[in-house]
Chains A and B, each alone.
Chain A
Amino acid sequence: MPPAHVQSLDEWPDQKIARLATLAREPAGTRRLRDQWETPANWLAWLCTVDHKALGIRYIVTACVFLALGGVEAGVMRLQLARPENRLLTPEMYNQLFTMHGTTMMFLFIQPVLSGFSFYITPLLVGARELAFPRVNSFSYIAFLLAGVFMYASFAIGQAPDAGWFNYTPLSSVAYSGGLNIDFYAIGLLLLSVATTVGSINLIVTILRMRAPGMSVDRMPLVLWSSLTTSLAVLFAMPALTAGLLLLELERRWHFVFFAPGGGGSPLLWQHLFWVFGHPWVYIVFLPATGMLSMVIPTFCRRPMVAPHLVALATMATGLAGFGVWVHHMFATGIPQVSVDFFSAGSMVVSIPSGVQIFAWLATMWYGRVQLATPMLFALAFIVQFVLGGLSGVMTAVVPFDWQAHDTYFVVAHIHYVLAGGSMFAVFAAAYYWFPKMTGRMLSERLGKWSFWVMFAGFNLGFFPMHIAGLLGMPRRVYTYLPGLGLDTVNLLSTVGVLVFMAGTLITLWNMVRSRRHGALAGDDPWHANTLEWATASPPEPYNFARIPLVQSRDPLWDGGVTVGPALDDGRQTPRTTPLDATWETAVQLPRQNAWTLILSLVLFAACFGALVRNRWVMAVCLAIVVLSVGRWLWPYQRQLLETEA
């Protein structure tokens, strides 16, 4: 039964509804804010736009294009594995496909798509008009896109990365991988790490300094705790990958020694650097999904989240614990027993904060009135599949079991239950949840439910048998297997299931294409939800909020805890508030689009090719242009901005 203080918007008194209308739009006939915030209608401004809503959608769409590419790679691999001793792919092609599948899904799909949602909804959730650094957002999007294009350019010369997404040395050393394959991987990911890092800084500053007056930390929507935790984790984890890639590329092409045992190097150094980054990265692509769930579940249970403070703490604790478990990827490398024991215990500890989140969701459903709309179905499937993936994770934290299951399909099943059955299902929940906000139109519930059930059935049919294949001893990353080992049926089931799963995702794609034009009009708040983004128009006006919202509660749209603040319509203004209490400090002026963000990312793209072919002149010229464009980018362009420099 919902607590008495929760009202749905339908039960709000008329003056409160009028209040929300004032927040969402300028009075009819007024264009003061629109003129300030609208992206001008020309192609250069379109390319360099700083509008977080346009960029958020571009992030999501681009990431989904990479999802399609990664999906095709997976589909081809599954066809190869459908029967024993299949000759569809050569081993070399298979190596490139599984490497690019993992790299694409981990780096070019799941993290960017989650970031895209964050860039879109964060300013709306905090009641701001933009992100803290709008031009940085433009730069990080284009740089992410070009990093993906760079890595995929490797297919054009038939030398795609082929040493697995974690790219172990010595296989990835020049002695065993002499082609450009690994250089595409290393240099492309270096560019991507720059884009990801600056994007995270943008989110951190936005979440800490731009929350609407009154939105103190204890009133922050939970998805912001996830964004904050993962963005901080990026700051401290990403450099480990950057360092590893830098050392790898220097060893491969510039005669340095780090990983080759001959000169005193150690191949395990790569594994340490990679997993110090890699395990936090798993939480970076998982915690935002839990945050999305903590938004979707209360809305469709018609009551506030249970134990929100504990969930926020659990989110931070999971992010922190992610830095203390990396060696569990290396139990089979012969490291000292004491490290094995420590990291085994650490890995089991992670299940405690994850459990807190799961029980908070279950309790919210227990006490609420569950409405099985499509976003909620995806959220429920997330919980089921994530618990399964979490359990197989705890199993592999037990060292003797890990030695048995290491590098088998059991681990493949585990990672897919956590990331595809977990994070990706949450992304679908989020897509169904926020699509009406982004486009102003509802997705079809009928197609949504079809898509959900086909995906749910296909996913479990495809990935559950992989546990069994793994326990039977089938190694991962091997392009075929012999008949008569008991692997034929499970592999055929996996192939069928994965293809069904893909068909399910295509139903959603069709749903989006169709509903974009022909869906029912959504209205500002179709789900009668609790948070500030639903107080804007659908799609939001270029300025997000016509008046700055003032927040007095955690679920402002449910209990009336939002009032109308100042208009701030003198230029591109938005409030700056204190990090903990969110008390008003001042208004800041935010910049417009600027072509230098585009030039900078294009030059870095060119520099990647320069580094690939080791042309010092190209690299030097690119460096000089980078310095000049950053200088030009940061130069104050108008007196007013200079005076209110933020």
Chain B
Amino acid sequence: MPLDEYDKIAHLLRRAGFTAHPDELEVAAARGLQATVDDLLNFERFPDVSPDPELISALDLSQEDFNRSRGEFLNKLTRWWLHAMVTTSRPLQEKMVLFWHGLFATSVWGLEFWQQIYLQNENFRGNFDPDTGQILRPAPRNPFPVGNFRRMLEYLSKDPAMLYWLDNQFNVKKNAEVGSNENYARELHELFSMGVEDVVAKVPNYTERDIRQASRALTGWRVLVRANGFTFPRVFIFDAARHDFGPYEHLGKRGGTNADFIFDNIVRHRNPGQKQSAVGRFLGYRLFAFFGYDNPEPEIINALADVFDGTTGEAPFNIRAMLRTIFTPGNIVSEAFYSERAFRAHVKSPTEYVASLFRLLTFDRASGRPEGLPPSSPRLLRVLSNGMIQMGQQLFAPPDVSGWREGLAWITTTSVLARFNFATDVLGTTDSGIDIARLVAQAGLQEAIQKNRYGDIVDFFARLLWQAPPSVEAREALTAYLQSPTPLQSTTPNSSDFVNVKIRGLIHLMLAAPDFQVS
């Protein structure tokens, strides 16, 4: 059975964003699928997320002072980003920042200056200028998160955190074969742009020598260690004294004086006899796996690669055009995206789990907006940071440069427990911003509670959290739960105790159920 328009919109907003409240779905349904796609893609129409003044001011601390509280900084940064995902008017922008964080995986555990990871997050949002070290909203030439991929490679290669993380900071001219450190050059090919093999043709994309030659072109790309009154290294410089000016032999071409030559070769690289570029296929694969389903068919990968290559008439290397192809109905890629195969067939990452949880449970129906994660609760910061670690996705600390393993790999016995216990923790504290009494009041559930219409209560929360009616069995089990006797807090049970214990418990059970783990 094909998806109806309402299902398509709900599906789109789960994948291209962080899940929409039923009220938002009503509004979007009235506007229609096409208008919803346009709003997501052209997010510059809407305001960007606001910076957290505490994070901004921490960037000016002396390194000694900063390091004393860098763990707390990381927790605050995590809270702020999750809050941004929950409250943003530009959901696709934040989703793409998450995509780039997973693809260009950088961890604070490889960094001396943890402040740089915040700059990288703003870089991926399009708000960082590496040449001046400034956060600007937006930074005029910055191509992230949906612009020209060729330029993204440049901005990535100038990113202070990346330069430290993969040692290019220390890559200096050595000889006509290789720079002094090939680490970044290797990952630029293997993980960040095309992969070892062409994802469709399964032939090697490059040789070890291509990597060594690329490392020469990247010599002298580094961050000024002390500059411009900043308290930590954050300004990119091209250090001609340490640079090897070529010419290089790279991906079958000879020439160049700098890394631009390498970036140009990478984005245009086609294996013999292949109609699509290696990078177009790699990104087509990664984008579709991220938004649609895992292991997309070669036709889908190739269709997206054609868009990347500009063979469909669009400007080449344009990520937004690829996303438009995925989300706009009427082509082979979007048919797959809106297919039954894709529908509810994605395991929420811990980030998506947390963001969707807060989006739905802090949504204020009066203002029509989610309120997000309150900034100043030390307990919530701890719950978030421990929870994300236990659930397996500590933001800003991917396990290694290849990022997180997505899909069913998110679900292990440990993470099932961690998701269950995270829900206990956020529902068990009043400073998490989740107001159960308001939720019940705004849903008009008081009457159902007073008249013991448990089925109605279950139906309401299933529609909110699972975005689907409950199965007969689930409805039965949850109704039985609401009926099950519990010694309540006061001696004479009343409806406020019922809300505090049983409605809270119902929400908890729904958050822990398989239905809430998929999107």
A binds B: no
